[in-house]
Amino acid sequence: MSLAKQVAVITGASSGIGYELAKSLARRGCPVGVLARRQDRLEALVGEIEAAGGRAALAVADVADRTQTGAAFRSLRDQLGPVDLLVANSGVGIPTLLEPMNVDDVEQMFKVNTLGVVYAMEAVLPEMLERGRGHVAAISSLAAFLAMPGESAYCASKAAVNTYMECLRMQVRHRGIHVTTICPGFIETPMTAQNKFTMPWLMKADQAAEYIAWALERKKTLYCFPWQMSLLITVAGWLPSWFVEWAVRDKAGVRPEP
C-alpha cells in the first residue's frame, strides 16, 4: 500500500533509525515532519530530504516533556497539514545499576521510551479519531520480550510500549486507525555504539529503515526483525531465567553489577 502524500511525523529523528526512516518515507512521497532535541541535526536532515526533491519540516522538542511535545506537533501540523502517519521512535538505553542504583537514569528511560510514545499519541490521535483514519506506530525492541540482567529498566520500558500499543490497537480497531508495533534487534546507532559486547545480526540503520517502511506500507500489527534474532529471543523465552542469565553474562560479555 502506497504511503505517497501521507503526512508522516517521526520522533527521535536526529540520528539512527529515525534519521534514516525520515529519508526512506520521503523517498516514498511522504511530506515528513521530524522532531528531536538537536536542531542542527534536524536541519541537516531536512536539507538532505529537500535536496532529493522531498518535502520536510522540523520541530525541536524533548519527547519526555509533554508540553514541548504537544507544541512541536502543532508546529508540524501548521507546516505540513494533519498527520496521517506517526512513528514514535525516540528511545534511550542505559544499563540498570545496583550499587548505587541509578534511579534517575531509570526514570529518564521510562519518560523517553514509554511516556514519549504516549505524549506523541496524545498529539495526533484526537484528530485521527475525528477524521476516522490514521496510522500510529511505535519503535519498540525485541528486548521487550526477554528479561536480561543489567537491562531491567530498558526491557521493562519497551515491554510497556508493546502492551500499550496492543491495548490501543484493540480500542481503535473499529475507528479507522491502524496501530503498528516495530521490534528491531540490534541496529547500528549511537545508542548501540556504546555496547561492549558482541551484537548478533547487527544491522545498518538505513537497512533497518527500509524494513520498517515495508512494514508500515503493509500496516503490520507487530513486526519483529531480523528474523534470526526474533527466533533466538523466542527460544530464549522458553528457557529458565538462570540459563538466560548465564548465557547473556558469559557468552555476550555482559557482567551484572557486583
Angle of helix 116-131 relative to helix 66-80, nearest 10 degrees, comes to: 40
In terms of Cα–Cα distance, which of 41, 43, 57 is closest to 9? 57
Residue 240 phi, psi (nearest 5):
-65, 150
Nearest 5°: CA angle at 167, between 21 and 231?
60
Contact (CB, 8 A) for 26 and 213: no
> Is 223 a residue of the active site?
no
Contact (CB, 8 A) for 200 and 153: no
In terms of Cα–Cα distance, which of 66, 56, 62 is closest to 30? 56
Residue tagged active-site, from 19, 119, 154, 211: 154
C-alpha dist (Å) from residue 183 to 55, 119, 208: 28, 20, 11
Task: Put the strands of the sheet holding 56-60 in their side by side order.
Answer: 56-60, 32-36, 8-11, 85-88, 134-139, 177-184, 222-225
Query: What's the rounded Cα separation, in Å, for the pair 203 and 86?
Result: 23
In terms of Cα–Cα distance, which of 158, 174, 178, 166 is closest to 84? 178
The residues annotated with a catalytic role in the active site are: 154
